[in-house]
Amino acid sequence: MTNPRNFLLMALLLTVFLLWQEWQKDYAPSAVSRATDAAATDSSKAAASPGSRPSTRGANDVPSVPAKSAASPTGTETSASTAPVHRDLPRIVVTTDVLRAEIDPVGGNLVHVELLDYARSNKQRDQSVTLLDNAAGRYFVAQTGLVSNDARLPDHTAVFSSPRARYPLPANVATITVPLSWQQDGVTVTKTWTFARSSYRIGLEQRVANARALPVALNAYGQLQREAPVSKQSFTDPTSYSFNGAGWWSPEERFEKAAFDEYTEEPLNRDITGGWAGILQHHFVATLIPPAGEAFSYRTDEIKFEGARPKYLIRVMGPTRSIAPGASASLPLEFYIGPKLQDNLASVAPGLNHTVDYGLVTFLAEPLFWLLSKIHKVVGNWGWSIVLLTVLIKLAFYKLTEAQYRSFARMRKFQPRLASLKERYGDDKEKLNRAMVELYQKEKINPMGGCLPMLVQIPVFIALYWVLIESVELRHAPWILWIDSLTDRDPYFVLPVLNGLAMYATQKLSPTSPGLDPMQAKMFQMMPVIMSVMFAFFPAGLVLYWTVNGVLGLIQQYVITKRIEASETKH
């Protein structure tokens, strides 16, 4: 930026903006609370009307039978889905060492999943992250079912029965199964959920037994349905601008995604073999993983609900299966509902690691995280891993930064001569610039020599920023003493102050622009304070990187400057 006044004005405006956002965070009413209250109000109004009940499904909530299997060649066509059921049945609770899940007998759906190893926030360590929930304002559920034109089969609104209400995972047992049963008109359907120790993979088998005299053609489906989350936009809060929406993977097109507001623009409607579909959010993901060898129909849709906010759905539907009289068939489906652990995702399903979304700098961010994780395996602390990674990055750019600091040192030597040129030509900018160019040419000084190293390092800084805010492995990870969460801001602002001191010392070693007037020079002297205020709102892990990087740069610049001054004194 050629005009220092513009730079200073933008920095001051950004600082004011950050302060205003922090005030909003502490004192403004929560948008999520308003949305939840509004939804609760709508529900209570509906419940208060005689004979009315809150709607729990939309016009396209239950899928229709695919056209190619709509005709029933062996029997009379009947309705493919059960009538809506509205009952307050007790939920089935499943508890493992890493999950607490609730299954609603209505539909046999997963309607609540808590991740026991992940706190809701650093201040709420006693409360686990709730990924799935069917509460108003944060609706997010996993639904499964069957559709057919040959018989009435249970979709995700049918009522199932279970032998017990609680399924804790016993000690020294690897897995636990939760059977749910439904029977009508000679067809028995058993849904069996399977939960494993130390795993976020959840298996589902829908077994259909046909005791009728005629065959039954059917399609199995699974879908994820959620309300779009309502959040405040905050420059310093990663969750406010992390991707929220659907994502899917296919061997042909690889990873693709669509935000909720893009659902109606280009809805997904495609057959995919060997893929998966999910709904993504910051740090966590819920996915549907069909059997790899079968072609499933993938679709996104916006669901309109009476008296409630719209919900957004991604669905996978299997091929048509025909079950002969007296026969049975098993229809499997797998879920992954949990954190985006980068070492594990690729082993769950091909391409699932792409749910960790580093954006345009993925090509840099992925190797940086790989290196950071390797360091962590040795030192066992993410804070020290960041410090060591910073040292390695600094070593990698040593030659570039050395050229930068040599350029600064030479420029610093000629500061008195540049000041005298400014004194001589006063406000005649044209003559001053011409004289400065002649001086640079005569002394073989490149005033832009310090810019290239900084430009090269900017993408690395941005990539590391995304690594620090997108990697769930670092979420609430402690460092030392007062830093108990690297993804939250420094509670005592020690790191921002240290960063400001390093910037101030670096300023003293660096040449100043001769084009600055006294007021601009004073404003530039305030930049360490301005940057410290800005960094006070950033995650401590990022400020740790920037502070260590600044201190190492200061040491390197000091050593190079003294060497150049000493060598020139000898000559």
This prediction's pTM? 0.78
For strands 269-273 and 140-148, give the pairing.
unpaired
272: Cα separation from own chain's centroid:
25
Q: Which stretch of DSSP H or E encloses residue 432?
A: helix 429-443
Task: Kindly state whether residues 257 and 296 are assigned to the same domain.
Answer: yes
* Sign of the CA dihedral running 355, 358, 363, 367: negative
Q: How many domains does the chain have?
A: 3
The pLDDT, as a whole number, for residue 40 is: 39
Residue 77 located in a structural domain:
no
Last residue within a domain, chosen from 357, 392, 422: 357
Instruction: Record the tokens describing residue 267, joined without a space.
Output: 């809805």
Residues 448 and 524 in one domain: yes
Residue ranges making up the domain that contains 422: 365-570
Asked whether residue 52 is assigned to any structural domain, the reply reads no
From the list 315, 286, 310, 288, the residue with the least C-alpha distance to 299 is: 315
Domain limit, last residue, from 337, 357, 377: 357
Q: What is the pLDDT along the chain (571 residues), one digit of tens a residue?
A: 333 444 444 444 444 444 444 444 443 444 333 333 444 344 333 333 333 333 444 456 788 877 655 444 444 334 344 444 455 788 999 999 999 999 999 999 999 999 999 888 777 777 889 999 988 888 899 999 999 888 889 999 999 999 999 999 998 899 999 999 999 989 999 999 999 999 999 999 999 999 999 999 999 999 999 988 776 555 555 556 678 889 999 999 899 988 888 887 788 899 999 999 999 988 999 999 999 989 999 999 988 767 777 889 999 999 999 999 999 999 999 999 999 998 889 899 999 998 988 878 888 899 999 999 999 999 999 999 999 998 898 888 777 777 666 666 666 666 666 666 666 766 666 766 777 676 666 666 665 555 666 677 778 878 888 888 888 888 888 888 888 888 888 888 888 888 888 888 877 766 555 555 566 566 667 777 777 777 777 888 888 888 888 888 788 777 777 776 666 555 5
In a domain, 325, yes or no: yes
Domain shared by 402 and 312, yes or no: no
Tell whether 331 and 464 lie within a shared domain.
no
- 182 & 327 share domain: yes
Amino acid residing at 285: V
436 & 414 share domain: yes
Question: Using CA atoms, how far apart are residues 110 and 93, in angstroms rounded to an integer?
Answer: 10
pLDDT at 62: 82
Do 449 and 334 lie in a common domain? no
Confidence at residue 446, expressed as pLDDT on a 0 to 100 scale = 61
pLDDT at res. 24: 43
Question: Is residue 75 assigned to a domain?
Answer: no
72 within some domain? no
pLDDT (0 to 100) of residue 564: 66
Q: What is the pLDDT of residue 397?
A: 77
Distance in angstroms (rounded) separating the CA atoms of residues 369 and 479: 17
Residues near 367 by Cβ (< 8 Å), separated by ≥ 6?
none
Verify that 390 and 408 share a domain, yes or no.
yes
Rg (CA), the chain: 31
- CATH code, domain with 327: 2.70.98.90
Query: Do both 515 and 410 map to the same domain?
Result: yes
In-domain check, residue 79:
no
Residues 428 and 485 in one domain: yes
Residues 462 and 317 reside in one and the same domain? no
**Same domain, yes or no: 278 and 132:** yes
- 6 falls within a domain: no
Sheet of strand 328-339, all strands in order from the earlier edge strand to the far edge = 175-184, 187-196, 201-210, 328-339, 284-289, 276-280, 245-250, 254-259
How far apart CA 348 and CA 363 sit, in angstroms, is 22
